[in-house]
Structure 1
Amino acid sequence: MKSYLKRTGIVAALMLSLASCENVLEEYNPSGQTAETVFTTPEGFETLVNAAYSYQRWWYGKEEGYNIAETGTDIWTSGAGEVYRDLTQYLNLQSNNTALTNLWRELYAAVNLCNGGITRIEKAGLSPAVRPVREGELRFLRAFYYWHIVETWGDVHFTTEETNGIVATANRTPVDKFYALIFEDLKFAVANLPVTQAQYGRATKGAAQAFLARMYLTRGMNKEALEMAQAVINSNTYKLEANYADLWKMTNLKNKEVIYAIDYSTNLAINDLANSTSNPYGHGRGSNNGHLLFLMKYDDRPGMTRDITNGRPFNRYMPTQFLLDLYNDNDARYEGSFMEVWYANATSRPTGMAIGDTAVVCSRKEISDAFEKTRKYQTYDRSKIYNTNGLVKDNLRYPTLSKFMDATRPSLNEAQSARDVFVIRLAEVYLIAAEAQMKLGDTKAAADLINVVRMRAAKTGKTAAMQITPAQVTLDFILDERARELAGEQIRWFDLKRTGKLMERIKAYAPDNAINLQEHHTVRPIPQTQLDAVTNKTEFAQNKGYQ
């Protein structure tokens, strides 16, 4: 396939590495050697494996990945600064979308690299102890990348062969065949990966088990999903953080709840901000930029100026009214996920307002007019942010997702963050097991598993009030619980799609996103660059519903 293979020959891996993982990445790039010679040495083959990991950074912690995986759902809609409104609000979504174009190219490049590594590992000279681990990592990554491809675009191109040079044809492969390989690769990974790895960010046995549990659940294999989720839970390798808010502290990123993460470096200079080989299409935000995207526009309000603590507000996405209403007053996850108050920090302030006084409040609740009149600060309450039908009234001011904020950035306009991206946490594994139990008919066991997550989320003295009964366990309740627990964590679109609830819940709970929503939006359009590149255009045509 010309559009993604013309620069993805295996030799390209010589210039790629996981350069942002300080203790992981060791670049090996002997000048003038070919893949056939380099990858027959253990040192050279490590370069290939490191490069295979690096492609995850195109999706996780990047604006394009948030738009494809999190927005356009029941819980997020467009802020005033939205760039990809065609993804978030389905406004004339077509094949020219640049986010989809970039990620199609990079995901297939990643698959090709994994295919090459799996093919070449026999002659890499690895020791008997190391070889199955590295193959397990490559198979884990191939499954990981193929999952993103098949769920995003459906029955598109599939191959397990390494490609060098230009290929001008593509195939249409059924979704089931993708998943057959995904299961095969992940089972190999589970059997061969170690429980822990010395280098943080590499795939482990637990990561493969957790991801396999997610895949089984996606395909309705509930017994298998339950068994794999229970294996992770019962391994005692992972532990829920006692306090939900502590998960997001920059000083606590490498905690026991995280099963698999994309590791970003505290040295921002090596996070692919500008790299002609591994990030030639970048937008100047080489690290995690989730901290920019969910922030409301606070820095033009009286008493406020932009600072490091409150972040650089790109104002891309805002919560739907439905998401804010999902949290009750007993649930500490609301305060652990959102901020509603901004404190005066500007030299120029309203009369009577001191530095550190409240300057702005954005509340999910209604504030009485009488109370507002007694305040020096500005208030944006429920009726100012949303209309009664849930449509957005003000897409500049709203409660802000604070989970990804980073006050350790060196300057107030720094777009990069060293925050790791949590791909799979133990809390999600509990919810996977609960959903599988429910679908297998055991709502008591499902409720018990959900209550483990909810008790951690309870405010002091509210543990009993947060627990649910078996009668409350439904698929919609579990989706609500996943929203409360995982909001913003680049999984929501996939959750709604796999449960068949994408159309229903957007129409019910995200009226701004529902206006242009159509049935064909359950898969994304194939990039036009790909369609233009292939010669077998009849066999490999655009997904239905798109031009």
Structure 2
Amino acid sequence: MKKNHLYICFIALAVITAACNKKLQEYNPSGTTSATVFNNAAGFETLVTAAYSYDRFWYGKEEGVSLSEMGTDIWTSGSGDVYPQLTQYNNLQGGNTASLNLEWDNFYAAINLCNTGIAGIAAVPDYTDAQKKMREGELRFLRAFYYWHIVETWGGVHFTTVPSAGAQTTANRTPIDSFYRQIFTDLNFAIANLPTTTSDYGRATLPVAKAFLARMYLTRGMNVQAAALANDVIKNYGFSLLPNYVDLWNMGNMGPGKNKEVIWAVDYSTNLSYNDMTTPTYPYGHSRGSNSDHLLYLMVYDQVNKSVLIRDINNGRPFNRYMPTLSYLRMFNRNFDSRYNGSFQSLWTCNQAGGSFKIGDTVCWATPDTIKDIATRKYTVYDATKVYKANGGFLQNLFYVSLSKFKDSTRASLAEAQSARDVFVIRLAEMYLIAAEAKYKQGDLDSAAYFINVVRKRAALPGHTNDMVITSAQVNLDFILDERARELGGEQLRWFDLKRTGKLVDRIKTQNLNPDAAVYVTLDDTLRPIPQKQLDAVTNKSEFYQNKGYN
């Protein structure tokens, strides 16, 4: 495909290499065309598996994280941030932010592959009718899933349900409501035709489709439906909250049957080479395809005191991309709530004896508090006054409390940048919080408090369950958003949460929860800019134009 044509025309003909035995079984018919591959069941399976694989460009990738978590109330730039335009809205444009290009290209490639499969599945001769409906259900679920990311990120942009077999030089502007009509249609088809369970870890099932539809209902203000469907998923499919929040992130709890809280995950192989996404299969993608979350939030601990604290596997490889805002750290009651220590690392200990330090001695402590006796301590302290300005903006962004729940101490070497950690796209705690928000919006504060308290009681430190219980009088939209931050921080939902609730500018700027982003954020930032190369490629520029607020 020539680069001067519209980038939504890509059709994937191959898939990633087969993964380890916990993954979807994949078959790669290299050297053949779609006409000869997709007209039989064995070949069509490759199309379905390839359609799933595009979620790896968003989940567990820096580009997807930058678009879904950054530019919110809970994160600001670490010194290694490569997309400060998204983190701080400073000169955010469609021509200077490469993550926009990658996600746009691959989402539309995924949509076209789903369209191709949905249009062609009826002609596959060696599928039973039941098999056809199940695979079409998966493709329709995935089309809805990808279109949600597109429409929420960019608004009413290009939309089609017809496969494209060649380069297209025009694009349309489709109303947001039209996107959602198709999303609901596809998800209802998926719910009617997907199995309740699957032996292929990572495939969509009936509860997965219902859980995502609950999220869609909440997004569109259909609160009665959102609460009912979230409650259905909570009660009827065997999911349960793990007893301890910190256990969610144990690498031993990755994979099929190991974590009853996970409704749907993007699965990454323990054989890292199986996660590769390279050309020509993924012409817009990464050379390495594994999970990168473990790198992005870690401060450069190995620069604190290089003689006694060196980089190791357990503390992680610090890319120093993002740091928590002071307001985020102060959302946690550390006396009662296990999610602070279950999510963050604030203490680093000696791992190379030297001078007065022995192995295990504290070398560095970071805290959102103000510590008055810093000078008397032999270890380095980064308290609020050493990290943040008086207004809460960052003073320095090298050393800080670090989100650690995505760390992977099973990596083969301290230099390994790839992780086999699965990304939890939907988990049960979100269903409780969806139900809570939907009930709150219906004016049912007692029910809202009930659903929130289920999540909070699981998070309680031993002996403090009662301290974590809230009353209905405490429930408001800001409390719900605080609770979602405490429970779901870093899980690629935050920007969507603030957009859905109309709180993006309010939380960042009016409430001053992120002074670094407050300087530039405006109401226009509830949409991201369309990639400039897409605008340059189309011939109907008067009809397909940039989103408001961007040059």
Please name the residue that 2:98 is paired with. Answer: 98
- Over aligned residues, Cα RMSD in angstroms? 1.4
**Aligned letter for 2:522?**
Q
Match of 1:433, SS state, is: helix
Give the alignment of 1:314-463 within 5 angstroms.
314-328=319-333, 329-346=335-352, 349=354, 351-369=355-373, 372-463=374-465
Instruction: Give the C-alpha shift of residue 37 in structure 1.
Output: 2.5
CA distance in 1, matches of 2:32, 2:65: 38
Q: Answer yes or no: is 1:312 the counterpart of 2:312.
A: no
> CA 1:253/1:32 → structure 2, altered by over 3 Å: closer, same or farther?
closer
Match of 1:299, SS state, is: helix
Equivalent residues, number: 538
Please name the residue that 2:278 is paired with. Answer: 275
Please name the residue that 1:511 is paired with. Answer: 515
TM-score with structure 1 setting the length: 0.96
Instruction: Give the C-alpha shift of residue 314 in structure 1.
Output: 0.5
Please name the residue that 1:208 is paired with. Answer: 209
CA distance in 1, matches of 2:32, 2:395: 60
Match of 1:2, SS state, is: coil
CA distance in 2, matches of 1:383, 1:447: 35
Match of 1:71, SS state, is: coil
CA distance in 2, matches of 1:73, 1:31: 43
Please name the residue that 1:107 is paired with. Answer: 107
Q: Residue deviations 1:216-248, cap 9 Å, x none?
A: 000000011011111101114200000000000
Give the alignment of 1:247-258 within 5 angstroms.
247-254=248-255, 255-258=259-262
Checking the alignment, whether the CA contact within 8 Å between 2:24 and 2:201 is kept in structure 1 is no
Please name the residue that 1:290 is paired with. Answer: 293
Instruction: Give the C-alpha shift of residue 18 in structure 1.
Output: 6.8
CA distance in 1, matches of 2:83, 2:375: 38
**Aligned letter for 2:115?**
N
**Aligned letter for 2:515?**
P
Unaligned runs of 5+ in 1: none
**Aligned letter for 1:488?**
G
> CA 1:248/1:31 → structure 2, altered by over 3 Å: closer, same or farther?
closer
Instruction: Give the C-alpha shift of residue 31 in structure 1.
Output: 5.1
Match of 1:485, SS state, is: helix
Q: Answer yes or no: is 1:527 the counterpart of 2:540.
A: no
TM-score with structure 2 setting the length: 0.95
Q: State the identity %.
A: 60
Checking the alignment, whether the CA contact within 8 Å between 2:234 and 2:431 is kept in structure 1 is yes
**Aligned letter for 1:61?**
G
- Relative to structure 2, which stretch is displaced further, 433-442 or 69-78? 433-442
Match of 2:426, SS state, is: strand
Q: Residue deviations 1:279-323, cap 9 Å, x none?
A: 444455420000000001110122211111111110000000111
**Aligned letter for 1:156?**
V
Please name the residue that 1:150 is paired with. Answer: 151
> CA 1:284/1:166 → structure 2, altered by over 3 Å: closer, same or farther?
closer
Give the alignment of 1:17-166 within 5 angstroms.
17=16, 19-20=18-19, 22-30=21-29, 32-96=31-95, 97-125=97-125, 126-166=127-167
Checking the alignment, whether the CA contact within 8 Å between 2:20 and 2:271 is kept in structure 1 is no
Instruction: Give the C-alpha shift of residue 406 in structure 1.
Output: 0.2
Please name the residue that 2:242 is paired with. Answer: 241
**Aligned letter for 2:361?**
D
> CA 1:415/1:483 → structure 2, altered by over 3 Å: closer, same or farther?
same
**Aligned letter for 1:235?**
N
Instruction: Give the C-alpha shift of residue 516 in structure 1.
Output: 1.2
Q: Residue deviations 1:19-70, cap 9 Å, x none?
A: 4464444443445543223211110000000000010000000000000000
Q: Residue deviations 1:457-491, cap 9 Å, x none?
A: 00111111100001111111101100000000000
Instruction: Give the C-alpha shift of residue 184 in structure 1.
Output: 0.6
> CA 1:534/1:472 → structure 2, altered by over 3 Å: closer, same or farther?
same
> CA 1:119/1:395 → structure 2, altered by over 3 Å: closer, same or farther?
same
**Aligned letter for 2:213?**
L
Checking the alignment, whether the CA contact within 8 Å between 2:137 and 2:190 is kept in structure 1 is yes
**Aligned letter for 2:460?**
A
**Aligned letter for 1:75?**
I
Checking the alignment, whether the CA contact within 8 Å between 1:21 and 1:264 is kept in structure 2 is no
CA distance in 1, matches of 2:263, 2:101: 29
Q: Answer yes or no: is 1:220 the counterpart of 2:216.
A: no
- Relative to structure 2, which stretch is displaced further, 450-459 or 16-25? 16-25
Unaligned runs of 5+ in 2: none
Instruction: Give the C-alpha shift of residue 214 in structure 1.
Output: 0.4
Match of 2:301, SS state, is: coil
CA distance in 2, matches of 1:181, 1:281: 26
Checking the alignment, whether the CA contact within 8 Å between 1:18 and 1:53 is kept in structure 2 is no
CA distance in 2, matches of 1:36, 1:280: 20
CA distance in 2, matches of 1:383, 1:5: 48
Please name the residue that 1:301 is paired with. Answer: 304
CA distance in 2, matches of 1:433, 1:452: 11
> CA 1:132/1:283 → structure 2, altered by over 3 Å: closer, same or farther?
closer
Checking the alignment, whether the CA contact within 8 Å between 1:216 and 1:225 is kept in structure 2 is yes
**Aligned letter for 1:122?**
A
**Aligned letter for 1:457?**
A
CA distance in 2, matches of 1:206, 1:404: 25
Match of 1:77, SS state, is: strand
The correspondence for 1:486, drawn from 482, 485, 488, is: 488
> CA 1:194/1:27 → structure 2, altered by over 3 Å: closer, same or farther?
closer
Q: Answer yes or no: is 1:546 the counterpart of 2:535.
A: no
Instruction: Give the C-alpha shift of residue 409 in structure 1.
Output: 0.4
**Aligned letter for 1:360?**
C
CA distance in 2, matches of 1:474, 1:18: 47
Instruction: Give the C-alpha shift of residue 3 in structure 1.
Output: 3.1
